[in-house]
């Protein structure tokens, strides 16, 4: 595998794994049987709320306090990547857990195929970074090391301002981010009552206009507004439609985000279930793991020796 290919795959995997975690914790119903439940295991009936803002403030609080959930969803990010993922994440103290990610199209899927991969990988998330299993194709080039580990500090150093922003998002994002986006929209409305995977939900919707994210038309504080605006601007998103479906326990069942990016369509849909589930993420064996920063040094050194 050439140096440029290793670097390109490694960087792409870093971004994809990071965005998957941020989106899942932060972005069309395809059916299924999983059901979102409260921590007591009940689906709940709740009290109908006429004030959408007040209702969403409750959702933000209760979902944020639930600490963990099983998550699955799909993501399309312009021409760069489309993927699906499933797993479980815990956000009680940073983001930890594991997600299986399958690339279904875009430039990233092409890069993975050219590198010998099958398009599917597992990402494990820890407080200080994450690791991605790149499979046998990578192991053949790295002496049996199929896992690439990414330190958030290294990503911040290698990626400059973008890397620093990614580090902050990965360490601080929680599933109530979609609710915060709706609160920031200033025009959030209750759409109606709908069934999502067998769960009775209330559907809320709003359009986030990045240029108008100001304190006077939202319930967010200045720091939250600034962080949200930067996240959207960095991706080239000018407007984003956010929809959430909430059960009777004020917990997210489904979240959808749609908009336009610099590279094309942005479309993310996530489903949440089994709140309070136990989440574990074991670090891969050291003998099968290479740090991304070290991998770059090795490949750059090999290229220098060959020239």
- Model confidence band, residue 19 (pLDDT cutoffs 50, 70, 90): low
Check residue 180 and give its pLDDT. 78
Check residue 153 and give its pLDDT. 84
- Model confidence band, residue 78 (pLDDT cutoffs 50, 70, 90): confident
Distance from C-alpha of 215 to C-alpha of 276, rounded to nearest angstrom:
33
Q: Is the pLDDT of residue 144 over 50?
A: yes
Which run of H or of E encompasses 70?
strand 68-77
- Model confidence band, residue 219 (pLDDT cutoffs 50, 70, 90): low
Check residue 16 and give its pLDDT. 59
Choice among 170-179, 189-198, 220-229 with the minimum mean pLDDT: 220-229
Check residue 250 and give its pLDDT. 94
Check if CATH label 3.90.1580.10 holds for domain 3-27+40-306: no
Choice among 170-174, 185-189, 215-219 with the minimum mean pLDDT: 215-219
With tokens 């990610």, the residue in question is 101
Check residue 303 and give its pLDDT. 52
Segment 149-170 mean pLDDT? 70
Paired tokens of 147: 């896992």
Q: Is the pLDDT of residue 221 over 60?
A: yes
Check residue 7 and give its pLDDT. 56
Check residue 32 and give its pLDDT. 31
Q: How many CB atoms lie within 10 A of CB 219?
A: 17
Domain range list for the chain = 3-27+40-306
Position with higher pLDDT, 219 vs 177: 177
**Environment class of 76 (CB within 10 Å of its CB; exposed 0-12, middle 13-18, buried 19+):** buried
Give the closest residue to 273 by CA, choosing from 30, 102, 89, 100: 89
Q: Where are the beta strands (DSSP E) in 163-292?
A: 189-196, 199-209, 239-246, 252-261, 264-273, 289-291
Q: Is the pLDDT of residue 44 over 60?
A: no
User: In this structure, are residues 53 and 47 in contact, taking their beta carbons and an 8 Å threshold?
Assistant: no
Check residue 103 and give its pLDDT. 85
Q: pLDDT, tens digit, for every residue of 248-267?
A: 999 999 999 888 877 788 89
Q: Is the pLDDT of residue 125 over 80?
A: yes
Choice among 215-219, 221-225, 302-306 with the minimum mean pLDDT: 215-219
């Amino acid at each position: 595998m050439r140096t440029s290919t290793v670097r390109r795959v490694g960087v792409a995997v870093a971004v994809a794994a990071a965005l998957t975690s941020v989106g899942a914790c932060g972005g069309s119903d395809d059916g299924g049987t999983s059901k979102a439940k409260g921590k007591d295991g009940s689906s709940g009936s709740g009290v109908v709320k006429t004030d959408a803002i007040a209702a969403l403030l409750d959702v933000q609080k209760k979902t944020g306090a639930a600490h963990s959930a099983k998550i699955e969803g799909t993501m399309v990010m312009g021409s760069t990547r489309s993927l699906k993922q499933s797993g479980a994440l815990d956000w009680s103290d940073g983001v930890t857990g594991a997600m299986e990610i399958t690339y279904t199209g875009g430039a990233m899927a092409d890069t993975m195929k050219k590198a010998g991969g099958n398009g599917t990988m597992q990402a494990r998330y820890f407080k200080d970074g994450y690791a991605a299993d790149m499979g046998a194709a990578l192991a053949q080039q790295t002496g049996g090391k199929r896992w690439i580990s990414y330190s958030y500090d290294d990503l911040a150093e290698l990626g400059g301002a973008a890397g620093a922003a990614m580090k902050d998002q990965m360490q601080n994002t929680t599933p109530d981010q979609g609710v915060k986006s709706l609160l920031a929209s200033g025009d959030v409305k209750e759409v109606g009552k709908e069934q999502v995977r067998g769960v009775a939900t209330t559907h809320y919707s709003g359009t986030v206009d990045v240029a108008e994210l100001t304190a006077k038309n939202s319930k967010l504080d200045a720091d939250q507004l600034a962080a949200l605006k930067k996240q959207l601007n960095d991706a080239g998103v000018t407007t984003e439609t956010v929809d959430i479906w909430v059960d009777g326990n004020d917990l997210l069942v489904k979240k959808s985000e749609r908009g336009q990016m610099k590279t094309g369509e942005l479309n993310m849909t996530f489903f949440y279930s089994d709140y309070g589930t136990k989440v574990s993420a074991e670090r891969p064996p050291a003998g099968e793991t290479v740090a991304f920063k070290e991998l770059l040094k090795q490949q750059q050194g090999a290229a220098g020796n060959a020239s």
